Amino acid sequence: MTEVVELAGEGGIRLVADADGDPQGPPVLLAHGGGQTRHSWGTTLRVLAERGWRAYSIDLRGHGESAWDPDGDYTMDAFAGDIRAVARSFAQPPALVGASLGGLSCLVAIAEAPAADGPAVARALVLVDVAPRIEAAGRDRIGSFMIEHMEEGFGSLDEVADAIQRYNPHRPRPRDLAGLKKNVRLREDGRWVWHWDPRFITGRLGSRDETRSSLIDATRLQDAARALTIPTLLVRGRQSDLLSEAGAQEFLELVPHARFVDVANAGHMVAGDRNDLFNNAVVSFLDGVAHGRG
């Protein structure tokens, strides 16, 4: 049965997560992409729980029901620090599954953890449609979508659905709009706004460049990839405009032991576009890790 739990990130910041599965099972932590929430994984949390994992789907700082950073710190150091703090709060190193921003945060959390600083951060890593090399056009399209209605919001859930449909035209428009309330919140003025702190975009200094340069430092991310020694899986949406085939191949050269799955008929939001195929790929990989076949 899924329950809502609170976890502590770096500096004790309050992070909210859904948890499911046997509390004594091996832990797996799902970290969503920027601008999303813990509800973006479809049935993945439940499926992992049914396979014997203690599964957690977390709201990153400043997202969903997790706390907003009082100083507006949404740098890579902050996100990676949260992942490291949560991972080390478990009785054993978890498997980390991260999409986009969540994936890069997991990568840095693992690779930059000082050996003498505590137990291992993770036993395995799944990166979802992200790698050190990402395509500028896809990155800018995501950014434009996030800021388009950031300040004025939406007058109704129908407007929210229309905006998402324009961004993801290949995905059917939802008939039941109630589920959109997991991704937006109702502001005091009656407008619906995205469920994340606007400073995630503007940065502490009111500059988008501050946050962007911190999160997409290619040299830092390449170094982190080279440092990986744990079982690793890269999952790409074949129609993704963020992670190209060339970007995926570059990652596989940096991490020769990594496995790769290219999901047909899926874009950047792989878990949402083809949840069935995504679950199959992740569960198969993590089952191998659990039984020493990673």
Residue 268, pLDDT > 90, answer no
- Cα separation, 119 vs 93, whole angstroms: 8
Residue 114, pLDDT > 90, answer no
Q: Is the same domain home to 12 and 88?
A: yes
Q: Is the same domain home to 223 and 274?
A: yes
Model confidence pLDDT, tens digit, residues 29-51: 999 999 999 999 999 999 999 99
Domain annotation covers residue 93:
yes
Q: Is the same domain home to 9 and 94?
A: yes
Token pair for 274: 């083809």
Token pair for 51: 């396979």
Q: Is the same domain home to 54 and 12?
A: yes
- Are residues 87 and 96 in contact, defined by beta-carbon separation less than 8 angstroms? yes
Model confidence pLDDT, tens digit, residues 138-195: 988 988 888 888 999 999 999 999 999 898 887 888 888 988 899 999 999 999 999 9
Q: Is the same domain home to 114 and 197?
A: no
> What DSSP string runs through 64-128?
TTSPPPTT---SHHHHHHHHHHHHTTSSSPPEEEEETHHHHHHHHHHHTS-GGGSS-S-SEEEEE
Q: Is the same domain home to 87 and 12?
A: yes
Domain annotation covers residue 207:
no
Q: Is the same domain home to 275 and 151?
A: no
Q: Is the same domain home to 111 and 230?
A: yes
Q: Is the same domain home to 85 and 196?
A: no
Tell me what percent of the residues of the chain surpass a pLDDT of 90.
Answer: 74
Q: Is the same domain home to 48 and 93?
A: yes
Q: Is the same domain home to 35 and 93?
A: yes
Q: Is the same domain home to 19 and 100?
A: yes
Confidence category of residue 272, pLDDT binned at 50, 70, 90: confident
Confidence category of residue 254, pLDDT binned at 50, 70, 90: very high
What is the span of the domain harbouring residue 193? 138-202
Closest CA to 258 of 101, 124, 132: 124
Looking at residue 10, which CATH number applies to its domain? 3.40.50.1820
Query: Among residues 182, 202, 222, which one ends one of the domains?
Result: 202
Domain annotation covers residue 238:
yes
Token pair for 164: 């998402």
204 or 41, which is more confident: 41
Model confidence pLDDT, tens digit, residues 121-133: 999 999 999 999 9
Model confidence pLDDT, tens digit, residues 59-101: 999 999 999 999 999 999 999 999 999 999 999 999 999 999 9
Counted domains in the chain: 2
